[in-house]
């Protein structure tokens, strides 16, 4: 049985029909196979037979020469990522840099705390627990409790809407675990970390810099340290969440998060790989999750919840295994809410503008009433590509939002944040102020940078800080210094290590 941290190394071979969009060439080992291909291939049910029958391509002789070859061949082929990782480690052909967590989860609960939909009232929060369907956690008083539908069906979701007192830390008994949640006072400042496109595993698609940047170890550690400081009110992932089809990779990441991190307000928007793991409709496969795993695992209070019964909050009307359109309705992914003095509008770019425009109108009508000091449109795509519908990339959706009553007079208070192209950078400025931001440098190939963006709306000023961690162009690695400062002090006492992306009076 695995416990604690597992350091991974791999050899691999191309699998028939597998053509990832990204490759981790920086992790190529002496056998000239890629770690991501190894992990993908050896996690497939037929892997053991292929390995033993000699149907792997040109470097089989190198594999057979390895003293652990026979044992590795016996250990794979169970459709199990842990077994695949173990086999790749035994074959010892790639740098031992990729890290995973296969031990007992750090937190006693896989908890999700998300904001109630804005129109329901500022004081509402959704609290959810994700557990194993074979031994489901069903907390007393939770209105919704059932096995995941359609995809990731080895998991169980229990969820309920709770009313809290803003500004007061409140402790809830969730299945015998004391969970403390806190929502900032409305119209007071708030702080949050926003990232996109995090990768650390190459099981389904490559992760070029996952090993170089040690994204698994570093992201989980920094998130846990940041939340422990008490300075951070929320965190978000804006799509392509771990490039996962089955939910196993996602679970590995969340298993390494502390209860404090998972008790902190969370939000997410889907990306192309959350619908089609290969990257878009052209690479669609029947086993893709089509966002079904996403919308249950992250358990957000979306527009879909507005017209449903008290217990129901996800619309399962579209069965992805039935003929026709496999995509869940966009209202399962579109939401709006407020944290302190900042409002967020989240949406799916994989759904049409015609279907989404009413949701934008609803959100902007709410913005007009809620009167936040700043509004961020958050989504995934930065361009119309790989499954993004016409005019639904974030820059175009932002332009659309500026025409909607309630958002049309926000001026430079309306910003946007996105992912998709794997860079961390300011993408748009107006009047010398940052307006658009990209936060997708989290391990995938692209600009080759890696860091943590942080929003701060305290003291009458909207700030965005970017804490650089590593960069393949400059060969800088600032992780140790950043971690020490955050541990010894706190994120907001370490802004000397950050770059200022935005400083705007509110």
User: Residue holding tokens 């748009």?
Assistant: 428
Neighbours of 328 (CB within 10 A): 28
State percent of the chain over pLDDT 90: 75
* H helical segments located in 229-336: 248-255, 259-262, 272-275, 292-297
Note the pLDDT tens digit of each residue in 356-383. 999 999 999 999 999 999 999 999 999 9
Which regions of the chain are under pLDDT 70?
1-66, 68-103
Q: What is the pLDDT of residue 203?
A: 75
167 phi/psi in degrees, rounded to 5: 85, -5
What single string gives the DSSP state of each residue in 360-405? HHHHHHHHHHH--SEEEEE-S-SSS-TTPPTT-SHHHHHHHHTTST
Q: Helix or strand or coil: residue 428? A: strand
pLDDT reported for residue 151: 98
- Which structure tokens are listed for 328? 């869940």
Measuring CA to CA, which residue among 49, 36, 35, 47 is closest to residue 79? 47
What is the spatial distance between Cα 272 and Cα 388, in angstroms, rounded to a whole number? 7
Cα separation of 197 and 217, whole Å? 16
**Tokens 């422990």 appear where?**
228
How do residues 143-187 score in pLDDT, each as one tens digit?
A: 999 999 999 999 999 999 999 999 999 999 999 999 999 999 999
d(CA 503, CA 506): 10
Distance of alpha carbon 82 from alpha carbon 72, whole angstroms: 12
Buried b (16+ CB within 10 A) or exposed e, 268-296: bbbbbbbbbbbbbeebbeeebbbbbbbbb
Q: Name the burial class of residue 173, with classes exposed (0-12), middle (13-18) and buried (19+) by CB atoms within 10 angstroms of its CB.
A: exposed
């Amino acid at each position: 049985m695995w416990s604690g941290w597992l350091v991974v190394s791999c050899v691999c071979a191309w699998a028939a029909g597998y053509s990832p969009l990204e490759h981790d060439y920086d992790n190529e080992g002496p056998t000239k196979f890629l770690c991501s291909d190894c992990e993908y291939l050896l996690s497939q049910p037929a892997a053991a037979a292929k390995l033993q029958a000699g149907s792997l391509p040109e470097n089989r002789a190198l594999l057979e020469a390895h003293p652990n070859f026979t044992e590795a061949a016996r250990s794979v082929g169970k459709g199990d990522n842990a077994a695949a990782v173990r086999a790749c480690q035994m074959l010892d052909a790639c740098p031992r840099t990729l890290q995973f967590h296969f031990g007992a989860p750090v937190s006693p609960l896989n908890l999700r705390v998300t904001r109630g939909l804005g129109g329901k009232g500022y004081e509402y929060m959704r609290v959810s627990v994700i557990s194993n369907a074979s031994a489901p956690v069903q907390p007393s008083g939770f209105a919704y409790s059932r096995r995941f539908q359609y995809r990731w069906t080895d998991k169980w979701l229990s969820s309920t809407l709770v009313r809290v007192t803003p500004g007061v830390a409140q402790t809830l008994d969730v299945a015998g675990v004391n969970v403390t949640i806190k929502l900032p006072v409305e119209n007071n400042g708030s702080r949050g970390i926003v990232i996109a496109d995090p990768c650390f595993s190459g099981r389904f698609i490559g992760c070029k810099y996952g090993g170089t940047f040690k994204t698994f170890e570093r992201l989980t550690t920094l998130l846990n340290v940041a939340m422990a400081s008490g300075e951070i009110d929320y965190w978000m992932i804006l799509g392509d969440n771990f490039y996962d089809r089955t939910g196993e990779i996602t679970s590995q990441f969340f298993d390494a998060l502390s209860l404090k991190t998972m008790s902190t307000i969370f939000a997410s928007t889907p990306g192309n790989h959350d619908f089609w793991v290969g990257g878009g409709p052209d690479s669609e496969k029947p086993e893709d999750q089509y966002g079904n795993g996403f919308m249950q695992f992250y358990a957000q209070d979306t527009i879909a919840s507005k017209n449903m019964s008290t217990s129901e909050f996800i619309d399962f009307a579209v069965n992805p295994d039935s003929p026709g359109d496999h995509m869940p309705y966009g209202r399962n992914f579109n939401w709006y809410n407020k944290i302190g003095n900042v409002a967020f509008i989240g949406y799916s770019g994989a759904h049409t503008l015609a279907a989404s425009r009413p949701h934008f109108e609803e959100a902007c009508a709410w913005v007009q009433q809620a009167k936040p000091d700043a509004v961020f449109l958050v989504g995934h795509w930065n361009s119309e590509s790989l499954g993004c519908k016409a005019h639904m990339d974030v820059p175009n959706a932002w332009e659309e939002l500026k025409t909607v009553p309630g958002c049309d007079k926000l001026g430079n208070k309306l910003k946007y944040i996105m992912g998709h192209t794997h860079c961390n950078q300011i993408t748009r400025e107006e009047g010398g102020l940052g307006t658009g931001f990209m936060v997708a440098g989290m391990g995938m190939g692209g600009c080759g940078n890696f860091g943590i963006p942080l929003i701060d709306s305290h003291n009458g000023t909207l700030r965005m800080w970017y804490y650089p961690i590593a960069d393949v162009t400059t060969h800088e690695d600032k992780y140790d210094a950043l971690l020490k400062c955050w541990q010894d002090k706190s994120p907001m006492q370490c802004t000397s290590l950050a770059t200022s992306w935005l400083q705007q009076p509110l």
